[in-house]
Amino acid sequence: MRSKKTSVGLPAESTSERAPVWLEPGVGFPLLRFDNTFVRELPGDPDTLRAVRGVRGACFSPILPLPVREPRLVAHAFEVARLLDLSEAVCASDAFTAIFAGNALAPGMEPYAACYGGHQFGTWAGQLGDGRAISLGEVLNAEGQRWELQLKGAGATPYSRTADGRAVLRSSIREFLCSEAMAHLGVPTTRALSLVSTSDRVVRDMFYDGQPRSEPGAIVCRVAPSFLRFGNFEIFAARGEVDVLTRVCDYTLRHHFPELGAPAPETYAAWLTEVCRRTAVLVAHWMRVGFVHGVMNTDNMSILGLTIDYGPFGFLDHFDPGFTPNTTDAAERRYRFSNQPLVAKWNLVKLAESLFPLIGSIPPLEDALAIYTATFEAEQSRHFAAKLGLHSAERSLVDELHELLALVETDMTVFFRRLADVPVELGSEASDDALLAPLADAYYPPQDDRTGLSCLSGPARARTVTWLRRYAASVKAEGTPPVLRKQRMNAVNPKYVLRNCLAQLAIDAAEAGDPGLVVELLEVLRHPYDEQPERERFAAKRPEWARRRAGCSMLSCSS
């Protein structure tokens, strides 16, 4: 399968100073209903220069995308297109590719880059902002739902600092696929409409080791009700611009939390509480599916409780509580898998501190943060009971399982999926071998072993059997029929996740000119809980070649 090159809105030889073309209303692309509240209701930067600079007293800077050479549509998500009332015929058009490459603009779009700050790796970093993302505007669909469209990799903005505002194909493929994979897993997330490659080359130092290389460029169109993040509020509190902070908060309440009522100190407190609750729900989902965000800076935390900014993420292959996929985090491991709940709360503390000027009292902030803790613990307990096929599970049963999974290299996804096949209904009549047999493929062989034998032996094997018998007793006590138990477990334990090694294979093929694996992976990930017999290879645990290969084990923030 080959991607299609568009002929609409193509720039000339140089793209550095070109502007996108404006399409005529209804010509080649349907009229969308834009209602751009962010730029209409909030203060903007009066300066339209692309030059990197400090932007004061403004929530955004108007900026146009920079066109690219030879844009080609690699893939699109038809589910997201439907959210925008876009047909498949429209998605196949040259105009669609041109618009979502940044080469053309549809009537009603008002492009801008948002201003925000953030704490990065626990340290205040000052102004950050959309350095390679440009929002096109907010679309209201036929059902009245609001969707912000944002191009990632569309060119430099005033917030690009030392970067060029572009994105490379490898990181764009990862973001496109993972956005949709998470949505189909049932994890709150931003979405991805399209992935467009270009013939422009982008230079990146992938591991910040002084060895940059030229890579193919790409652009992803991200879609969400809003891309507001904790940093959109932190920046104005840090600068003492309380008037702007108030306007951003009131805007957020009005458009995204209208059920909470009119702005007032108690309303701001109720809003913070809801953000804490949503964030707890989000992180519990991450832990459920073994997802590690990799860069949980406050500027990467959505105010709506969505997974946002897919950079050096990774799904656990073998269950390692200390795993971080981010090379920048390799020493401190601040964003390791097991620390994500604590980091999320730390980030919420920083948001709470930013809102203090509007709330004016400490106890409401403490109450909101307590809601985070209580919600996360309840959600974590509920999810892991469901993963075990139980209505409720003793904390000690779950904790012991986590110890066992980390005791030897155990593939988290495979283990929980195969656990549904363990014949626990046989009780004491089941032999040790019968209990362990369905789990055999979940264990990696020892790294120094050349026989391919499982690493589950000795004390680890004995402890696992003991746990399985205790688990079997819990299942028996609840009395759930075996068939129903398996159905319930398979509905919450995915068979397919976007392993880094799978993403890397798709990247390798796409960089060689064949996007077919990107499209096939997208289709597989649409049905993560289903049996897909013809695609079993995508459900296998990590191959040995991927253990330490760049892009498969750890990644950097470079894109």
269 burial class (0-12, 13-18, 19+ CB within 10 angstroms)?
buried
What secondary structure, in 3-state letters, does 489-523 show?
Answer: HHCCCCCCCCCHHHHHHHHHHHHCCCCHHHHHHHH
d(C-alpha 470, C-alpha 476), whole Å: 10
The pLDDT, as a whole number, for residue 334 is 97
Instruction: Tell me, yes or no, if the pTM score tops 0.85.
Output: yes
The pLDDT, as a whole number, for residue 9 is 40
Cβ contact 536:529 at 8 Å: no
The pLDDT, as a whole number, for residue 13 is 38
Distance of CA 449 to the CA centre of its chain: 35
Which residue of the set 200, 299, 320, 411 is catalytic? 299
Minimal CA–CA distance to 276: which of 377, 379, 380, 368?
A: 368
Each residue's pLDDT expressed in tens, for the chain with a length of 559 residues = 334 444 344 333 344 458 999 999 888 899 999 999 999 999 999 998 999 999 999 999 999 999 999 999 999 999 999 999 999 999 999 999 999 999 999 999 999 999 999 999 999 999 999 999 999 999 999 999 999 999 999 999 999 988 889 999 999 999 999 999 999 999 999 999 999 999 999 998 776 777 788 999 999 999 999 999 999 999 999 999 999 999 999 999 999 999 999 999 999 999 999 999 999 999 999 999 999 999 999 999 999 999 999 999 999 999 999 999 999 999 999 999 999 999 999 999 999 999 999 999 999 999 999 999 999 999 999 999 999 999 999 999 999 999 999 999 999 999 999 999 999 988 888 999 999 999 999 999 886 665 555 778 889 999 999 999 999 999 999 999 999 999 999 999 999 999 999 999 999 999 999 999 999 999 999 999 999 999 999 999 999 999 888 888 778 775 5
d(C-alpha 262, C-alpha 266), whole Å: 10
Tokens standing for 424? 């626990």
Residues 20-79 have pLDDT tens digits of 999 998 888 999 999 999 999 999 999 989 999 999 999 999 999 999 999 999 999 999
β-strand partners of 93 = none
d(C-alpha 75, C-alpha 515), whole Å: 8
Mean pLDDT of the chain: 93
Could you confirm whether 205 is annotated as catalytic?
no
Distance of CA 494 to the CA centre of its chain: 17
Between helix 516-525 and helix 500-511 the angle, nearest 10°, is 150
Residue with tokens 């993560």: 528
The DSSP code sequence of 419-454 is HTTS-GGGGGGS-HHHHHGGGGGGBPPPTT-SS---
To which H or E segment does residue 525 belong? helix 516-525
Cβ contact 97:8 at 8 Å: yes
Q: For the chain, what is the largest distance between any 2 Cα atoms, rounded to a whole number of angstroms?
A: 76
Minimal CA–CA distance to 164: which of 135, 203, 134, 192?
A: 203
Strands 117-120 and 112-114: unpaired
Q: What is the CA radius of gyration of the chain?
A: 24
